[in-house]
Structure 1
Amino acid sequence: MPVISNRLTRTLNITHPIISAPMAFAGGGALAAAVSAAGGLGLIGGGYGDSTWLDEQFAIAAGQRVGVGFITWSLRKSPSLLTDVLKRKPAAVMLSFGDPRPFVDEIRDGSALVMCQCQNIDHVWDAIDVGADIIVAQNAEAGGHGALRGGLSFVPEAADLIAAHSPNALLVAAGGIADGRGLAASLMLGAEGVLVGTRLWASAEALVHRRHHEAIVEANGDETIRTTVADIARQIPWPRGLTARVRRNAFTQRWHGREDLLERNAAVEGPRYREAFAEGDPDNASVWFGEAAGLISAIEPASRIVERMAADAASRLAGHAGATLA
């Protein structure tokens, strides 16, 4: 079977140019290990910074080469989390949603690659400025937190900027990528690989409630919304300009557009939300997936997802001058 070989696969010493998104609460050690074992690179989601949970997930992933990702503005509150994680020798550390500068030197000193996830061109300039090894261009189709850029323009714009100002950096595309067509298209747009969230959120190894998995299988790409209501209910102070793409449901119908009222009632609605999420209630708490939901019809092992995506992309790119198939 032909495989895609490029700078990303050689730099990361992986078989397929596929990286799993470090999804908070869902991207644990089992998922990261499964993606790495299948020939990609799995990232454990550092989330909002639970050191005990991170220890547990790295233990679960033991024996596989994995990385980790952090919500940068949250990491600034507990920088020792990075110090502790680097002792485990992750292959890469991804920083998202905040200034990467306070952490880059420590990551390099820990012999990990620096990944910076970007939602606009200013973020790409920041990543170039700190000399990021891998720059992730995340588009608005992505599940979870992000911004508003569309992938068809953002990825090639970022590719051109990186080629001109930081040619050794590797560009990875994120958002809406669920199969070989998405991987092949991302490579055609100038990326050297993909960061996959929603499709791997819908995997057997993801830490996702059964009822939420059932919801994504039933959904199409129209059934999501970018909103801040989940963050308001959870009383998590996300920076302005960053919203979360989640499933449209009774919770978003009740509160989207009434954010001020939800904020005033957060002391009551917050516990209700958390209880609903813990119970896997798909209607009264957020279900965290993106527009790629419309391309997902089953919950499968991560290895099958990665291998099928890579094989299909390689088949589609066979004969194209921009890809070397071996």
Structure 2
Amino acid sequence: MGLRSALTDMFGIEHPIVLAPMGGVAGGRLAAAVAEGGGLGMIGGGRGNADWLRRECALAASGTEKPWGIGLLSWAINQDILAAAIAWRPAAIMLSFGDPAPFAPSIHDAAIPLVVQVTSMAEARRALDVGADVVVAQGTEAGGHGGGRSTLPFVPAVVDVAGAVPVLAAGGIADGRGLAAALVLGAAGAVIGTRFEATTEALLDADEATAILAAGASDTILGRVADVAADAGWPAVYPARTLRNAFTETWQNREDELGDDDEALSEFRAGVDRADMDYVPVWAGEAVDLITELHGASALVGRISAEALDALDSVPREHH
């Protein structure tokens, strides 16, 4: 018996698992592999680079006939980028980080399910106001950019205000026990990112994958160093969780100073260009402790779902 939920019913998928649309990591091959495994694959469309999006969507479309979607950054896109995404007729479009209101009507008009990722209760209410079909409650344990709430208390709080709208849990989930916990909290499934970075289909260099396999939660850091150094334009309200490296250790909590230091900024760019791991930002969440092996993404989806079933079945129940 599989794990059925409002998520699996909505998208006709086998397992209540969604690939986090990680920018620069979740390309078409990874999205297709997750879809083939019975989850909902998501391409990390980010700011919507047209050539990149076209290439990766083509890979997904040729790699699977099962549902896959596209994730975009609300603060960074425009209507033209959204129109290009809609033209692929994805199974879902996820908007994250910023106000979804300017873009929700176009997605609704296209009859594409709108998924909105939120990091606060105010954002959750905004997502519901604009008609989100699914809300993703992302905790601060997540890799990459996020907010300031912990997953465990945040998810049920969003579930309570969402009513009939399905809520997904994100942040710190890397195995079936995390998925089981999400379901017990009232979520209809989980959005999983860092675990899928350590797969053969992820757009990650071998050194980055090796770093994730070797890391523990204490090796991650939440801050804005990488964004300031890359002049990425990210809103300051959304810091990013990455693996610690020499550059973050030097500049953490000194971001204002870093932004004015041309020599340090040049040093960062040169280090990233030569793929020096003392400089390269590797997005990774606190569940990185649980990731010790590289897997194929398709098989991983079923494995996580099976682990969740086992975890739920193993909970002792007192009989009266």
Q: d(CA) in 2 for partners of 1:309 and 1:170?
A: 20
Amino acid at match of 2:74: T
Amino acid at match of 1:175: G
Of 216, 234, 256, the match for 1:238: 234
Amino acid at match of 2:173: I
Question: In the alignment, is residue 67 of structure 1 matched against residue 69 of structure 2?
Answer: yes
* Displacement of 1:49: 2.1
Aligned counterpart, 2:12 = 13
1:107-144 C-alpha deviation (Å, 9 max, x unpaired) = 11222110000001000000110110000000010000
Aligned counterpart, 1:150 = 150
Q: d(CA) in 2 for partners of 1:52 and 1:109?
A: 25
Aligned counterpart, 1:57 = 56
Of 160, 168, 172, the match for 2:168: 172
* Displacement of 1:280: 3.1
Aligned counterpart, 2:191 = 195
Q: d(CA) in 2 for partners of 1:30 and 1:227?
A: 30
Of 202, 216, 234, the match for 1:206: 202
Aligned counterpart, 1:324 = none
Aligned counterpart, 1:280 = 275
Q: d(CA) in 1 for partners of 2:8 and 2:84?
A: 27
Amino acid at match of 1:114: L
Aligned-pair identity in percent equals 43
DSSP-derived class of the 1:73 partner:
coil
DSSP-derived class of the 1:276 partner:
helix
Alignment of 1:283-294 (within 5 A): 283-294=278-289
Aligned counterpart, 1:95 = 95
Q: d(CA) in 1 for partners of 2:263 and 2:83?
A: 37
Question: In the alignment, is residue 317 of structure 1 matched against residue 319 of structure 2?
Answer: no
Q: d(CA) in 1 for partners of 2:300 and 2:271?
A: 29
RMSD after superposition = 1.4
Q: d(CA) in 1 for partners of 2:267 and 2:294?
A: 28
Aligned counterpart, 1:120 = 120
Q: Unpaired segments of 5 or more residues in structure 1?
A: 321-326
Aligned counterpart, 1:269 = 264
Question: In the alignment, is residue 299 of structure 1 matched against residue 294 of structure 2?
Answer: yes
CA contact (8 A) 2:37 2:300 kept: no
Q: TM-score, normalised by structure 2?
A: 0.94
DSSP-derived class of the 1:136 partner:
strand
Q: d(CA) in 2 for partners of 1:276 and 1:16?
A: 40
CA contact (8 A) 1:235 1:270 kept: no
Q: d(CA) in 2 for partners of 1:279 and 1:311?
A: 41
